Amino acid sequence: MSAHRLKDFVGKTDVKFGHFIVEFATPGIGHILKSAGCEFVLFDLEHSGFSFETVKSAMRYFEAADLPAIVRVPSKEYHHIARVLDVGAEGIMVPMVSSAAEARHIVNSMKYTPQGARGVALQVAHDRYRPGAVTAKLAEANHRSTLFCQIETAEGVDNAEAIAAVAGVDCLWVGHFDLSSSLGVPGQFESKTFLDAIDRVVRAARTHGKALGRLVPNVETGADYHRRGFSFICYSGDVWVLHDALAAAITRLRDVCTDTKVQS
């Protein structure tokens, strides 16, 4: 079975850099991200439209590149959580976690007995199809599976410390757009209301020794949140990186070509 890379990561305070995949689940994507210096990938099911079959293939691409994968599931439903783990996700991210009860339900859905009630399926994708003793397999899977709870509601901020206290929660991940909207300041990431909420989440994570993560749109924001104590910095997403790089190049190319006289 694979090494517990994400579980190792959440236990260390040094910064880890990743990238968000919402569009391009191509066979080479794992090696491309690895070559670019990524240490993890965040693979989205909430907004992407990817199917579970696509996730299953993508997990093999990331395994081939030795790149730990976090899969954001579309809901807190058991079948979303357990199926993503069954097809090989090392970590799961769950949106809109707003209470300790919700966090406990998620842990119960993702862990095998005696830590939870996940349905048992062995010698399939998550354990790389290898045989072995049942009790050892269950313990191995329980240790490997890593939980990233998204704090992206005002209620989630109010309950951040209780969520962080739940055994099995490994990281509090700020969902900045939804959080700002829930707080009544949509897109105002420098507002006092938003930053006060971030401070509360940071304190909760520190109190209970849990990691912190966020998707960031640029280097400056990433550096700022690292200073605040965030150790998982997910830099932008595949759609936006491609769009911005291409737009900048096309704009520059158009300007240069417009200013250049064609030789006869």
Q: Which residues are catalytic?
A: 47
Q: What does the alpha-carbon distance between residue 10 and residue 27 come to, in Å, rounded to a whole number?
A: 27
In sequence order, the 6+-apart residues with CB closer than 8 A to the CB of 161 are 203, 204, 207, 208
Place of tokens 């966090």: 103
The closest of 80, 91, 135, 92 to 113, measured between CA atoms, is 135
Q: What is the DSSP string of 170-219?
A: -EEEE-HHHHHHHTT-TT-TTSHHHHHHHHHHHHHHHHTT-EEEEEESSH
Give the residues across from 71 on adjacent strands.
43, 92
Q: Is 176 within 8 Å of 197 (Cβ atoms)?
A: no
Distance CA 223, CA 150 (A): 20
Q: Quick one: tokens of 210?
A: 């849990």
Please give the structure tokens belonging to residue 46: 């909430």
Q: How far is the CA of 158 from the CAs of 98, 127, 150, 238, in angstroms?
A: 8, 37, 13, 32
Q: Give the Cα separation of 68 and 58 in Å (integer).
A: 11
Rounded distance, CA 56 to CA 140, Å?
20
